[in-house]
Amino acid sequence: MVESRLARVLLRIASGGVLAFLYLPLVVVVIYAFNTSRIQAWPPAGFTLHWFGEAANNPQVIGALVNSLLAASLATVLALVLGTLAAMAVHRYSFFGRQTISFLLVLPIALPGVVTGVALQTTFITFGIDFGLMTIVVGHATFCVVIIYNNVIARLRRLPSSPEEASADLGGDMWTTFRRVTGPRLGTALMSGALLSFALSFDEIIVTLFTAGPGTQTIPLFIFASLQQPRELPVVNVVAFVLILASIVPVWLATRLSGAETAGARL
């Protein structure tokens, strides 16, 4: 034990404080999801389950949920393909411009979303492309690529290349090697990357505001529109609450799968 007793106690308190800070607004949202009044004053006026029924019967909520799931899935699949290809290229071969590739891949997520959004919107309008689900997917896939890329390349760096070489020695062609050796070894990295990318796309609002058409609404867009209506606030709280609950399992899963990455060397 390197840290002193006092340090450990202080750190524990500090961690608890930060966690409390992280969860304060979420707790407030959950409390207001059961609030009888539409006005969000404190303390809440009363307890009711009424808004859950309203949210479940709201066709806009269902529609937005379907759109969000579709967009996130498509964007993730696209990101998986692009990210894996790029990671394999950068890891296996040394070539001119290798550093630039990782720089380029990070750009969509490092540059402010508002710039990406305005740029994509301008381009779509310039070429007369109709806004809809696909324009949303294009935007999301572009910055989800780097998440897959990071996960895959981190895994590739940890894995020895001998199994691939052995596979080639045993007569496997490139596709067989990938399918039966590399792929499975990347499996969990791909899964955790996919989960993170799905989450990012599901919650994305800044770029989506620019790339969605008038008829396509994702959950964040629904929330955005509802916040501009005078009486939709409770439904928004309910939707948020359900989303938080629904995300516990995927988050836990993603953590377990990427556990190999973060298990550090404790010498």
Partner 1 sequence: MFQRRLGGALTVAALVAAACGPGASQAPTGGPATGAPATGGPASAAPTTATIGEGEGELNLVIWAGYAERGATFPSFDWVTPFETETGCMVNTTNMTDSNNGVSLMQSGQYDGISASGDATTRLIQGGIVAPIDTSIFEHYGNVFPGLKDLPHNTVDGVNYGVPHGRGANLLMYNTNEVTPAPTSWDGVWEGGSAYAGNISIYDSSIYIADAAVHLMATQPALGITDPYQLNDAQFAAAIALLEAQAANGALYWSVYTDQMASYTAGDVVIGTTWPLQVALLKAEGVPVEGILPDEGSTGWSDTWMMHADADNPNCMLMWMDHMMSPEGNGQATVYFGEAATSPQACAYAETIAAGHCEVTHATDEAYYDKVWYWSTPQADCADEDAATTCKTQDDWVAAWTNIRGS
Partner 2 sequence: MTTATTPPDPPRRPSFVRRLSIWLFPRRRLQVGLLLSTPLGWLTIVYLGSLFILLLNAFWEKDTFTGNVEPFNWTLRAFELLINGEAYRTVALRTIAMAALVTVTCAVLAFPIAYYMARIASPRVRNAMVVAVLMPLWAAYLVKVYAWRTIIQGNGLLEWVLNPFGIDGPSLRAISNSWLVLSYLWLPYMILPLYAGLERIPKSLLEASADLGGKARTTFRRVILPLSFPSLVAGSIFTFSLTLGDYITPDLVSDAKFIGNVIYDNSSLGNLPLAAAYSLLPITIMIVYLAVARRLGAFDSL
Binding site residues, partner 1, CB under 8 A: 38-39, 41, 121, 125, 128, 130-131, 213-215, 225, 227-232
* Binding site partner of 133, from partner 2, partner 1, none, Cβ cut-off 5-8 A by kind: none
User: Of 17-25, 57-65, 158-166, 185-193, which segment contacts partner 2 by CB under 8 A?
Assistant: 17-25
Of 216 and 241, the one with the shorter C-beta distance to partner 2 is 241
56 binds partner 2 (CB under 8 A): no
Of 164 and 232, the one with the shorter C-beta distance to partner 1 is 232
**Residue listed under structure tokens 């071969």:** 93
Q: Looking at 37, 123, 161, 229, which residue binds partner 2 (CB under 8 A)?
A: 123
- Peptide linkage before 163 cis (omega within 30 of 0): no
Q: How many CA atoms lie within 13 A of 8 on its CB side?
A: 5
CA nearest to 150, candidates 203, 222, 200: 200
Q: What type of residue is 173?
A: D
**Residue listed under structure tokens 């059961």:** 34
Contact 136, 216 (CB under 8 A): yes
Torsion of CA 186, 92, 264, 193, to 10 degrees: -40
Alpha-carbon distance of 54 to 34, in angstroms, equals 12
**Beta carbon of residue 17, minimum distance to partner 2 (angstroms, whole number):** 8
* Binding site partner of 215, from partner 2, partner 1, none, Cβ cut-off 5-8 A by kind: partner 1
CA 199 and chain centroid, separation = 3
State which of positions 204-243 bind partner 2 (CB under 8 A): 205-206, 210, 219-220, 223-224, 227, 236-237, 239-240, 243
Q: Looking at 5, 46, 59, 95, which residue binds partner 2 (CB under 8 A)?
A: 95
